[in-house]
Amino acid sequence: MSKHVFAALLIMVFIAGNITAQNKGSITGKITDKQNNEELIGANILVSGTSIGASTDIDGIYAVKNLDPGVYELKVSYISYQTLVIKDVQVEAGKETRLNISMVSSATQLEEVVVTAEAMRNSEAAVLKIQKNSINIVDGISAELIKKNNSSDGTDILKTMTGVTISEGKYAYIRGIGDRYNNTLLNGANLPSTDPEKKSFSYDIFPASLIENVVTAKTFTPDKPADFSGGLVQIQTLEFPQSFFWDFSYSAGYNQSNNLAVFKGYQSGASDWLGQDDGTRSLPSLVPDFKLTPGNFSGMNADSALRVIGLGFKNNWDLKDTKSMVNGSYKLSIGDKYEFGGNTLGLVGSLSYASSFDVKNLEKSAYTYEGLRYEYSGSTYNYSVVWGALANISFKTSTNDKISFKNIYNQSGDDEVTLYKGDYYAYSQYRETNNLKFVSRILRSHQLIGEHRFNLLNGINLEWNTNFAKSFRDEPDNRRYIYSKNNDDPEEPLRFQLDQSLASRFFSDLEDENTGANISITMKPFAERNMPTVKFGAGYDDKGRSFNARSFGFKNIPGGNFFREDTILQRSVEEIFKPENFDNRFIQIVEITKPSDSYSSEQSVFASYMMFDWEVIDKVRLIFGARLENSQQRLMSRSQTDQPVEINNNNSDLLPAVSITYLFNDITNFRFAYSKTLARPEFRELAPFSYFDFLANELVIGNESLRRTMISNFDFRYELFMGPGELLALSVYYKSFTDPIEQILTASSALEPIRSYKNADKAENYGFEMELRKSLGFISDYLSNFSLVGNLSLISSKITLGNSGVEGFQTSERPLQGQANYILNAGLYYDDYQNGINSSLTFNKVGDRISKVGTTDIGDIIQKSRDQIDFSFSKRIFKNFAVKAVVKDILAQDYNFVQKTPFGEKVVEEYNTDMSFSLGLSLAF
């Protein structure tokens, strides 16, 4: 009891102290050059009639604190700039008044300019200002709009941005272009992919509460990595909180198909709830390092050794029915800043945990030129866990220096059961197929970032960063087995297929390591306003990968009692794998690992660049320069015939970029940009390693002959900034690809299609984008709390196959894989700040797009369009407590995939979804 009383007293003291501190208010913001949006370091802010004031730091940030509630006048001055007098600045008790200030440069001293302050309660206008003054074409979303959307993670944030679609619930397609043509930077540094199969990043690992903003660059500038064309997603995490905060939130979600329902599972480990295996699925210690073939057991009886090893594998094949719980997520964030001696220390940390159950009822089939290959129905049951921690520490001096150390740890696990049953026409069989799969992923990222200002040559800005990231992917004991019978005899019982290719266990582990460093210097050599700013720098990025896999199958030893064995094969799988069936020479383990099932790879990129930012004439801003990237890509493995495979791709690429911005007036921009970029093959796409994708029913194999893709990009954009937080943007663009890499399907002698990768000759991509953010207050004052946010993309693409085209379904021209012909996002938002009410109704629709490209005897597979509507409502109760309700996928339309066949379009995959509900509670100080 005494512990609870003591804890209650501590909470009361903390709240009392918090209330006392909140009797005062403050004014904070950023001071920049109006022309180029550069931060002004050392600008002075003085409260008129007092000695209270502040100066801006290295980020152009100021904070005037400990002000009594009331209305104030500020005087803002900086050498060679017009002095500003800002009136009617409102300060409220316990709140920060956000006031960003733009100053106009002057060659001679002018009279003071008097303006009236408009307090900014959110940072959406600040992000739009980033767009307005950016040197390239960007789209952004701020913490404020993140909150309005009730976004829970990075995936929710991205799907509302112009031209962005989300694939598989977590991967981003930008301007309809797939993951290979996009890139992600976290605080300016590269991160390794979270999926070994593709160049993609799972954005759901970032808690939305600690994202300061997300900006997607649609055009390339030389100070950024050149390996993108669709978009460069730049995520900035929080550095310096304005004041102490902590918040805790919990949400529970329900879907009638997924939660509080029968859920298929199997014997799992005690630490699955943490997204990691506790050793339950580990490769048995009896399995030697060498391959299990009779010739490798010198000096011993091979059959006896294989029997002992086979018995070392756990007999854990059977499924069991459990009951799924509700989906749940927990998030705790805390941060503060400390000021001493003119210096500032910022601390930010977070912990998050989420678990979810997902059930999909599937219909799946496939066609070749000859007709229907198979027709299955079934279900997948997935239990998913993701948890992580973020810790940032930042320090800056009063004016000239800032250093940050940023760290992320993330771990996730997926426990999946897939069940199929139906007719396999190629073998004239009825089959029931089962797959038990567990995948664990870990990501660790550490970044040391610095920025320094030197008062030399009209100001020199030095920026640098170093980063180290490591990711792991472990897939232990992926089990697959099949029961079947002939279609000719309906009375025939189902029999277990004791075949090494159909009854198998697969183990793999992957380790990626990413290290890098970048340095840049920005300077203005000449003091005259019409002279250019110069930025130059260099960077190094190294990626390494180690992948190992082993596969084991089980076969029937010939020569036994046929009738006895036939009876055993009609039993449950764990009855079949009893120890006595190994002892009686009925079952034997066979290793089916191929020499190509392991590989190591490395990619090193050294880059240098120079660029100029120049107002060549009044209102015309020219940014031009080039980036030189020298890359070395090396992969070592062995072929399936055990011959050495070594791939070396060395390239030196000079990548120019130029953009012109015409500042028509204070609220209107016209932009034009041209650049050359590239896309390198991923390690997995080059590797000769092959494996069977059970869910897709396809064999996947790399192509060591892939070449990098070279891309020319042209963009034009019109921007109208109608008011704080309001924007109308219209864009057109064109992209030309040389040697684009496509994922293709081909027929094989094993009757299962092969999924691989191939260069086409060339491709084109062009489109139109429109973005609107507008308050509805212009219609009526009663609608002033409503705003409309929407974006539309109309896209067309054409890929020319040239010599890579083949007979059958494949034509000489078609759209790019993954390219939707339109993307529509729209949202109606209600934000009543005074009463703490926030609500949104959002709509998303993506056009048809090629999911998988067909070749000989295999038609293209098309993912059909679907509509999605989401609704959210939140209400602040009391000062620090809020409740939030979210309804997702209200229409609950099925996901449909069709395949082009000689008989027309046929549905080859279909799975259902249901509307989901979540209720969340949060407490914040």
What's the CA dihedral at 190, 767, 709, 813 to 10 degrees? 150
Average pLDDT over residues 89-117: 68
Sheet with 53-55, strands from edge to edge, namely 53-55, 44-47, 70-77, 84-91, 113-116
Instruction: Calculate the average pLDDT of the chain.
Output: 83
Residue 825 is encoded by which pair of tokens? Answer: 């996002």
Q: How confident is the model at residue 484 (pLDDT cuts 50, 70, 90)?
A: very high
Domains of the chain: 2-120 (2.60.40.1120), 125-239 (2.170.130.10)
Is residue 21 predicted with pLDDT exceeding 50?
A: no
461-466 long-range CB contacts below 8 Å, 24 or more apart? 461/521, 461/522, 461/523, 462/519, 462/520, 462/521, 463/518, 463/519, 463/520, 463/521, 463/522, 463/537, 464/517, 464/518, 464/519, 464/520, 465/187, 465/188, 465/189, 465/517, 465/518, 466/516, 466/517
Kindly state the DSSP code that residue 293 receives in the 8-state scheme.
-
Beta bridge pairs of residue 491: none
DSSP three-state, residue 599: strand
Q: Can you give 820-884 as a three-state secondary structure string?
A: CCEEEEEEEEEEECCCCEEEEEEEEEECCEEEEEECCCCCCEEECCEEEEEEEEEEEECCCEEEE
Q: What does the pLDDT average to over 713-724?
A: 88
State the DSSP string of 614-659.
EEEETTEEEEEEEEEEEEEEEEEEE-TTS-EEEEEEEEEEEEEEEE
Whole-model pTM: value is 0.82
Task: Flag the least confident range among 63-72, 330-339, 433-442.
Answer: 63-72
Signed CA dihedral, 8, 9, 14, 20: sign only: positive
Q: What band does 196 get if pLDDT is binned at 50, 70 and 90?
A: low
Kindly list the distances between the CA atom of residue 360 and the CA atoms of 253, 264, 265, 436, 912, in Å, as whole numbers in the listed order.
17, 12, 14, 15, 6
Cβ atoms within 10 Å of 45's Cβ, excluding its own = 24
Identify whether the C-beta of residue 416 lies closer than 8 Å to the C-beta of residue 458: no
Exposure string of 450-466, with b = 16+ CB inside 10 Å and e = fewer, is: bbbbeeeeebebbbbbb
Q: What is the pLDDT of residue 691?
A: 72
d(CA 83, CA 103): 8
| Alpha helices, DSSP H, located in 462-561 | none
pLDDT at 450: 94
Query: 515, 312, 217, 367: which is closest to 862 by C-alpha?
Result: 367
Q: How confident is the model at residue 340 (pLDDT cuts 50, 70, 90)?
A: confident
Given this model, what pLDDT does residue 345 score? Answer: 93
Would you place residue 18 in the very low, low, confident or very high pLDDT band (cuts 50, 70, 90)? very low
In the structure encoding, which two tokens stand for residue 851, read together? 């999911």
Question: From CA 827, how far away is CA 369, in angstroms rounded?
Answer: 44
In this structure, of 15-24, 50-59, 547-556, 761-770, the range with the lowest mean pLDDT score is 15-24
What span, in angstroms and rounded, lies between the C-alpha atoms of 128 and 137? Answer: 12
**Among positive and negative, which fits the CA dihedral 736, 738, 742, 747?**
positive
How far is CA 213 from its chain centroid?
A: 14
Q: What pLDDT was estimated at residue 29?
A: 87
C-alpha span between 360 and 497 (Å, rounded): 26
C-beta neighbour count of 263 within 10 angstroms: 20
**pLDDT above 80 (res 151):** no
Is the CB of residue 421 less than 8 Å from the CB of residue 377?
yes
Cα 839 from Cα 481, distance rounded (Å): 49
Per DSSP, 386 falls in state E
Is the confidence at residue 116, as pLDDT, over 50? no
Lowest mean pLDDT of 122-136, 356-370, 636-650, 730-744, name the range.
122-136
Nearest 5°: the CA angle 842, 846, 852 is 145
* Residue 247: pLDDT band with limits 50, 70, 90: confident
pLDDT at 550 over 60: yes
* Rounded Cα–Cα distance for residues 773 and 791 (Å): 9
Residue 211 and residue 166 in contact, taking contact as beta carbons nearer than 8 Å: no
- Each residue of 396-428: pLDDT tens digit? 986 789 999 999 898 999 999 999 999 988 888
Give 383's strand partners: 357, 415
Name the phi and psi angles at 226, rounded to 5. -95, 0
Mean pLDDT of 643-648: 90
Q: What is the pLDDT of residues 745-799, one digit of tens each?
A: 776 655 577 888 888 889 998 999 998 989 898 898 889 889 998 889 999 988 8
**Averaged pLDDT for residues 431-439:** 95
d(CA 138, CA 129): 11
**pLDDT computed for residue 4 by the predictor:** 42
pLDDT surpasses 50 at 7: no
pLDDT in tens, 208-229: 666 777 788 888 999 999 988 8
Q: How far apart are CA 643 and CA 639, in angstroms?
A: 5
Tens digits of residue pLDDT in 660-716:
999 898 889 999 999 999 999 988 888 888 777 766 677 788 888 999 999 999 999
* Terminal-to-terminal C-alpha distance of the chain: 26
pLDDT digits (tens, 9 = 90+) for 860-878: 889 999 999 999 999 988 8
Q: Residue 883 has what pLDDT?
A: 93
